[in-house]
Amino acid sequence: MLYGRIIGWGKAVPDKIVTNADLEKMVDTSDEWIVTRTGIRERRIAPEGVNTSTLSVLAAQAALTQAGLIPADIDLIIVASSSPDHLLPAVSSEIQHQLGANCGAFTLVAGCTGFVYSLVTAQQFIATGAYRTILVIGAEVISRNIDWTDRNTCVLFGDGAGAVVMQASEEPTGVLSFELGSDGSGAEHLMMPLGIAHPATHDAVDKKYQYIRMNGREVFKFATRTLARSAAETIGRSGLSIHDIDLMIPHQANARIIELAARQLGLPLEKVFVNIDKYGNTSAASIPIALTEAIEQGRVKEGDKLVLVGFGAGLTWASAVVQFGLAEKPVMTGWRAAPTRTVRAAQNKISVVARTASMRASLMLVPLYTRVSRKQRSEEKSNGNGQSK
C-alpha cells in the first residue's frame, strides 16, 4: 500500500487586519463580547483584487518551495473552498493555470471540513497508485459573503489559504485513518441562500441572500456533539489511543468549542493548537493555516501523530489521524491491526461519552455567541450595555 507523505506546507493571509476595536465602530459589539464568546481578537480581510485564487497560488508556491518541487511536478490539484472566484469556471482550474501546472484539478465543496475531505481524497488517489504528487489547498475569501451590519456573523470570519504537498511513500505516513460525515437535515443552520434555488435577482439581493446566515446556537450544539466523538472514533481506527496523539489541530471556529472538545477527549490544552485569535474562522483554510503555523513554531516534529478535526456547513464533519513524516517504528496497518483498532475505538468512545456526561451541566451554560443569563442581561442593561441582546 502507498501512503501520502506531507512533504511541503505553506500559507497565505491578506495584509489587512481588522481588529475587534475596528468592528466596534461598525456594529453594536465590543472586544470583550467577541473574545469571551469566540476567542477571536482580529481577522485578515482580502482587499479588492485579491481573490481565493490569489491566496491559493501564494500558499501553493510556499508549499512547493518547502517540498523542493516546481509546478510541473504536480500530478493533481484539489482545492477545498466555498468562496470561489466565480461559479464557473472552477477556481481549481484558475489556480492550476496561475501556478503554471500541467495536471488535473478540481474543487471540493464541503464547507469548513473541506480541507480534511480533500486530504483524505488525495490519500485515496495516492493509495491506488493513480497519482504520485498531489497539491491540496484550503482557501477562502469569505469576507465577500459577509453582511458587515450583522454582528452575529461579521465578527467571526476571515480570509486566508493554506496548502500541503502530498507525495507517495511506501512507509506508513500521512493519513492513517479518517471519518467523513454529513447530516443535511441541518443545512439551514449555516448557509448562503443565493444560488440556483435563489438566483441573483433584485429581490434576492434585497433579502441579502448573498450573505452567510447562521443559527449559532444550533451550530454550537452540533459541534459539541460531533467534534470529540469523531476525533475519538478516528484515533481508534488508527489503532492508537488518545494518549498517543502529539497534537490536535481543530477547525478554528470558536475557542470555547475547541476547549470543550479537548476536555471531552481528555486531551491537555498544550496538545491543542489554537490560532483563532489571529485569523478568526477562515473556513476550509483554517486547518491548513493552523497546520503550517504549528510546523513553523516547532509544535509538529518528524514522526508526530496529529488529529485534524472539523465541522461546518452541510452540516458536515471530518477527522483524520495524520502522521507527519516517518515514525521510528512504523504504525501497524492492514488486517493484523484490526483487533487493536476495534478495541481502541471502543475505549476512546467510552472515554468521550463519560466525560461528556459529566460536562452536560456546564455545556448548557455556554451556548454560542448570543445567549447570556438573565442576571447578566439585567446587570448589562442597568449599566447601559445592550451587548447581550
pLDDT of 237 over the 80 cut: yes
pLDDT in tens, 31-40: 999 999 999 9
Can you give the pLDDT at residue 389? Answer: 36
Mean pLDDT of 246-255: 97
Can you give the pLDDT at residue 210? Answer: 87
User: Which of 251, 254, 275, 348 does the annotation list as catalytic?
Assistant: 251
Can you give the pLDDT at residue 355? Answer: 57
Same fold, 3-171 and 177-363: yes
Can you give the pLDDT at residue 197? Answer: 85
Can you give the pLDDT at residue 330? Answer: 42
User: Which three cell numbers, joined as nine digits, stand for 14?
Assistant: 491578506
- Are 138 and 114 within 8 A, CB to CB? yes
- Residue 325 binned pLDDT confidence (cut-offs 50, 70, 90): confident
Can you give the pLDDT at residue 209? Answer: 87
Give which of 109, 115, 113, 171 is closest to 138, Cα–Cα.
115
pLDDT of 383 over the 60 cut: no
Of the given ranges (48-62, 94-108, 223-237, 360-374), which has the lowest mean pLDDT? 360-374
Give which of 227, 269, 278 is closest to 247, Cα–Cα.
269
User: Which of 20, 254, 275, 281 does the annotation list as catalytic?
Assistant: 281
The CATH superfamily assigned to 177-363 is Thiolase/Chalcone synthase (3.40.47.10)
Mean pLDDT of 277-281: 98
Mean pLDDT of 308-312: 96
Cα–Cα distances in angstroms (integers) from residue 301 to residues 10, 295, 304, 310, in the given order: 16, 7, 6, 22
171: left (phi over 0), alpha (psi -120 to 50) or beta: beta
Catalytic residue at 251? yes
Give which of 93, 85, 17 is closest to 55, Cα–Cα.
85
Cα 352–294–143 angle (5° rounding)? 90
Give which of 307, 320, 293, 284 is closest to 120, Cα–Cα.
320
Look up the CATH architecture of domain 3-171: 3-Layer(aba) Sandwich (3.40)
**How much is the mean pLDDT over the chain?**
88
In the chain the first and final C-alpha atoms are separated, in Å, by 55
- Residue 156 binned pLDDT confidence (cut-offs 50, 70, 90): very high
User: Which of 20, 51, 112, 154 does the annotation list as catalytic?
Assistant: 112
Number of neighbours of residue 58 by Cβ within 10 angstroms: 19
Query: What's phi and psi for 101, nearest 5 deg?
Result: -85, 155
Can you give the pLDDT at residue 332? Answer: 45
- Are 126 and 134 within 8 A, CB to CB? yes
Rg (CA), the chain: 21
**Per residue, what are the HEC states of 194-224?**
CCCCCCCCHHHHHCCCCCCEECHHHHHHHHH
Residue in the structure block whose three cell numbers are 450583522: 150
Residue in the structure block whose three cell numbers are 460525515: 181
Residue in the structure block whose three cell numbers are 493571509: 13
- Residue 348 binned pLDDT confidence (cut-offs 50, 70, 90): low
User: Which three cell numbers, joined as nine digits, stand for 350?
Assistant: 467510552
Mean pLDDT of 71-80: 98
pLDDT of 336 over the 70 cut: no
pLDDT of 163 over the 60 cut: yes
Q: Alpha-carbon distance 268 to 226, whole Å?
A: 19
Can you give the pLDDT at residue 4? Answer: 96
pLDDT of 331 over the 60 cut: no
Can you give the pLDDT at residue 356? Answer: 53
DSSP-H helix ranges across the chain: 20-24, 31-38, 52-67, 91-99, 114-127, 151-154, 202-206, 216-237, 255-265, 276-279, 286-296, 338-363, 374-382
**Residue 332 burial (C-beta neighbours within 10 Å; 0-12, 13-18, 19+):** middle
Can you give the pLDDT at residue 381? Answer: 52
- Are 221 and 363 within 8 A, CB to CB? no
Q: Work out the percent of the chain whose per-residue pLDDT is above 70.
A: 84
For 174, the enclosing helix (H) or strand (E) is strand 174-182
- Residue 317 binned pLDDT confidence (cut-offs 50, 70, 90): very high
pLDDT in tens, 172-230: 999 999 999 999 999 899 988 888 888 889 998 988 888 999 998 999 999 999 999 99
Catalytic residue at 112? yes
What is the side-by-side order of every strand in the sheet holding 3-12? 3-12, 160-169, 133-140, 76-80, 104-108
Domain locations in the chain as residue ranges:
3-171, 177-363
pLDDT of 337 over the 70 cut: no
